[in-house]
Structures are given as C-alpha cells and as structure tokens.
Chain A
C-alpha cells in the first residue's frame, strides 16, 4: 500500500518537475513536505480512490501521509 502511495505521489511530483521521493514518512505533510497544492491533493484523492476505492477526504481534510494510510487500513 505504501509503495502504491509513493508511486502516486511521485507521479504527481514528476508532472510538476519536482524530484522523486525514495521514501515516505508517516509524518510527511502533504503540502509542506511533499509540496502538493490543492489541485495536487485533488489529483491524489482521485488516484487513490481509483486504486483503493476509498475517498480519503470524505470525512474531512487529510494533511499527512500517515493520515492517508490510516484511512486505507
């Protein structure tokens, strides 16, 4: 699961010309540490939903990688 999230995050980062991440930490903040904008978070949500069939923002805002993983478990 973590590997797939990393792949999705890196797809988004790559499309913005950002360097790839080799590892995600649960404490990584989606905006501040991974440099994701509101639109990127929307794209992340769509891609995670396509992959796992779970809307990570359904119950409110998610701000860290750990919170995403929590929703997927």
Chain B
C-alpha cells in the first residue's frame, strides 16, 4: 500500500498520513479553529448520543483533553479528510503496545454522513489505517446495541461480538477484529450490494 507520512512544516511536532484520497491528521497537529470545529461535531446530538459519555463537553475541557494527548501514549485521535474536506474523526484508546491492540472509536462529521454509500468506504479506510499504517494487530470496540449503523458495518468488515454489558441505561456490545481477518477481506466485496445482502440476512426482520 502506498501512503505518505506528512510533516506539517509550519507546525512543530505535527504529522498526518495521506492514503489515497484520505488524510489522517493527528489532533495535536490541528489549529485552534480546527480543534474547535471538531468540538462542535462531537457535541452534535447525532454524534454524542452514541458515545459512552453522551453528555455535551465544554470547549475548555475539549482543548485540555487534546493538549493532554501530547503526554498520553495510551491514546491518539485523528481527524479524517477526504479530498481535503474534513469528514470525521477516529481514535485509538487503551493502547497496549505489547499486544498491539487498542479500542477504536470513530464518527462522521454530522453534515457529512452521506459521504459514502452506507459508510462502508469510510469505516474500511479507518480500519485500514489502524491495521496497516499504525500497525495494530487487534482492535476492540464498544457499540451500543441500538447503533445498528456502526454494528452492521463493523460486522460486515469482519468484526465479531465477543461479549455484552450494561451500564445501567444502555446495553453495549464488545467487538473485536484482528488485522488477519481484516486483511483477508477482498476490497471488491465491499460494495453496497453485498452490504445490503448482509444486513438483509443478519439485521432486517
């Protein structure tokens, strides 16, 4: 796979990756305005309702959180652009360097949710980034039971439910996917038709 690790020379200690039309820019490389824009996405009701912490966060906490990423090696956050237009974010948390595993998070920018048919290309490219650029072996994820968008895409791309738990209000599934499983997927099979067949067999009653 061809990719470019990009250094933003106008900003010290900044970096990002360009993979085909997708660019993954580390939060630490974003300007104040760009971080503020992400704060708006994260607080949008259509985004935060699926999060473990679905409360609104204030801007000062958001900025402090990002600043703290500089010294916190257990997590990293990335803004995703497609053809240079920011379309969403992804993150890896609870990183375990020995096993090369971590917990993945992702969301679309609220007004760009129709970026790709059913989000297949978006999620595929995030997994590809995590496995084949950042070098993870295993990704874990927590998805609310009624978040059928994320659940169906994760399973379509090879993710497996391994357990479930409740926080008292909501039921969550723990999912897991390995790089080996992911890399066995043939990209030509990732078309909307196959996704529709998949949800017809597994999700639609």
Contact = CB atoms under 8 A, between A and B. Distances in A.
Contacts of A55: 193, 196
Interface string A35-55: 001110111011101000001
Interface residues on B, range: 10 to 19
A47 B148 CA distance: 16
A61 B117 CA distance: 7
Contacts of B118: 38-39, 41-42
A70 B114 CA distance: 20
A19 B149 CA distance: 20
Interface of B: 113-114, 117-119, 148-149, 152, 192-193, 195-196, 199-200, 203-204
A39 B204 CA distance: 10
A39 B148 contact: yes
Closest 10 CB pairs of A and B: A39-B149, A39-B148, A38-B118, A38-B119, A46-B200, A38-B149, A42-B118, A37-B149, A42-B199, A46-B196
